[in-house]
Amino acid sequence: MPDDAPAALVDQRGHVLVITLNRPHAMNAVNAELSELVGTALDRAEQDPETRVVVLTGAGERAFCAGADLKAVSRGESLAAPGHEDWGFAGYVRHPISKPTIAAVNGFALGGGTELALASDLVVAAESAKFGLPEVKRGLFAAAGGVFRLPRQIPQKIAMEMMFTGEPLDAARAATLGLVNHVVADADVLTEALALAEKIAANAPLAVQASKRVALGIVDGAISAEDSDWDSTRENAVGVMTSEDVREGTTAFVEKRAPVWQAK
């Protein structure tokens, strides 16, 4: 992958817009460039009457998205799209549009990768896909919607165990719990996601979009019912993100060693 390759690719396929996270060398970890490109693509999809469905996937075979680029975090870099911090992680998790979104999950979808799946309307997963919120293993927590969306989309006690231990679920278990719509062979994940997208696109677009807005409570590009959840997340993130533990966690990751926690 050339160093100057864009961090995300956008491909219009008829009525379906495909967004590909394009940092396979970093397991499609999110940085500011990726966030800007994804968020801009979502705006394009929302404004284009010919686009009826968005499919989000990852380049390469190893990962859909491994979450935040911890090397960028350790350097003190922002992961947000410049000037569009309100879009949230990857330009996606706080950027609801009226067009249905499908996550085509290939390989690992850990941390922010799982949060991208949680922010999507539907999920088609490869058999090898893994979902999890391992942030606590690095001194972080799932502040991109994971801490409140996961307990609403799967049984609460399973969600709490995932958040407390950082341990992942495989695709089959995720489907059983309702986190995933379809599990398919690894080679077929994008093909099956596109087939599902075409099935949706064959329906009346205004009716589909109205259904989504009402179901999720989307008004003026936001889900107001989640406002208090985001406020609580932000308040708690201050203490976590300014702690010695978060610095230790990210440094230990870069140095490839076990972290030594101080609880401060």
Do the strands 63-65 and 101-105 form a parallel or antiparallel pair, or are they unpaired? unpaired
Nearest CA among 249, 254, 231, 44 for reference residue 166: 249
- Please state, in angstroms and as integers, the Cα–Cα distance from residue 129 to each residue in 5, 93, 141, 153, following that order: 25, 20, 21, 18
In the set 46, 135, 192, 226, the catalytic residue is 135
CA 262 to chain CA mean position, Å? 30
Do 184 and 171 form a contact (C-beta atoms < 8 A)? no
- 115 noted as active-site residue: yes
In the set 115, 167, 198, 248, the catalytic residue is 115
- 135 noted as active-site residue: yes
Give me the active site residues, please: 115, 135
